[in-house]
Amino acid sequence: MSTNTNTAPDIKAKHRAMWALGDYPSIAADVIAALGPALVEACGIGAGDRVLDVAAGSGNASIPAARLGATVVASDLTPELLDSGRQQAESLGLTLDWREADAEALPFTNDEFDAVISCVGVMFAPHHQESADELVRVLRPGGTLGLINWTPEGFIGQMFATMKPYAPPPPPGAQPPPLWGSEEHVRALLGDRVSEVVARRERLTVDCFDTAEQFRDFFKACYGPTIAVYRSIADEPDRVRALDRELAELGRRHDRGAGTMEWEYLLLTAVKK
């Protein structure tokens, strides 16, 4: 956790509460399930590897890694998400270490893991450099770092841009999450501590919403950041209606036909020097 600002504890408490809103595990399981296995495969994770999943949520990448025989620690700031992941893992007969932890102050030793991964997770920690420093610190030399993050230009990045005028101003020092979807930004964060950087933009096909309004209403009910924005304008019905319109329009612009959308993300892997 950042120690250079008096607002840091408040930021973390708000983030923890925000991600406990709604039903993020449904999004992880029903909408973006393919991302976790894609990240695990890109990192070459296999049996016996010691893996840390940072901002793991309900285990979108942790559980696929454990299925391959890796020893997995799934860490997240929000205990409700960890509880959901733990229940899912137990139903599959898998054993993981579910650990409440702050991505900006990980409770692990230097060089502890063979692979450190994060699937649309660490991007939401407010202080990007601190998070990046922690990802590298706990990874052993020669180990693999793997990240999937939504791009600023892609659907989710544009959804955050749509919601921004309706949201309260971010705390001082907090950086926009979609910056993690910029290869240049991530390379700058990691610096010369890594090599063999491979970054490519990929697209997730999403076909579980029949209409743009269905997408909007699902996210209003299930996605913590969207719920938080709507709560902040709940007493302003004109603004609520305006945001309703803009989110539906966003969905329509990205509809490729028959309710199918493609959500762009950055897949980046690197090796610690």
3-state helix, strand, coil in the chain (%, to 5): 45, 20, 30
What is the side-by-side order of every strand in the sheet holding 113-119? 97-100, 71-76, 50-54, 113-119, 139-150, 261-272, 194-206
Report which DSSP code applies to 98.
E
Nearest Cα neighbor of 133 from 186, 58, 88 is 186
The whole-angstrom separation of Cα 145 and Cα 136 is 8
Which CATH number describes the domain made up of 8-207+262-272?
A: 3.40.50.150
Its pTM stands at: 0.95
Residue ranges of the alpha helices (H) in 58-202? 62-67, 79-91, 128-137, 155-163, 183-190
List CB contacts of 79: < 8 A, sequence separation 6 or more: 16, 100
Domain residue spans of the chain: 8-207+262-272
pLDDT (tens digit, 0 to 9) for every residue of the chain, 273 residues total?
233 333 466 889 999 999 999 999 999 999 999 999 999 999 999 999 999 999 999 999 999 999 999 999 999 999 999 999 999 999 999 999 999 999 999 999 999 999 999 999 999 999 999 999 999 999 999 999 999 999 999 999 999 999 999 999 998 899 999 999 999 999 999 999 999 999 999 999 999 999 999 999 999 999 999 999 999 999 999 999 999 999 999 999 999 988 899 999 999 999 999
Q: Which two tokens stand for residue 157?
A: 């990045």
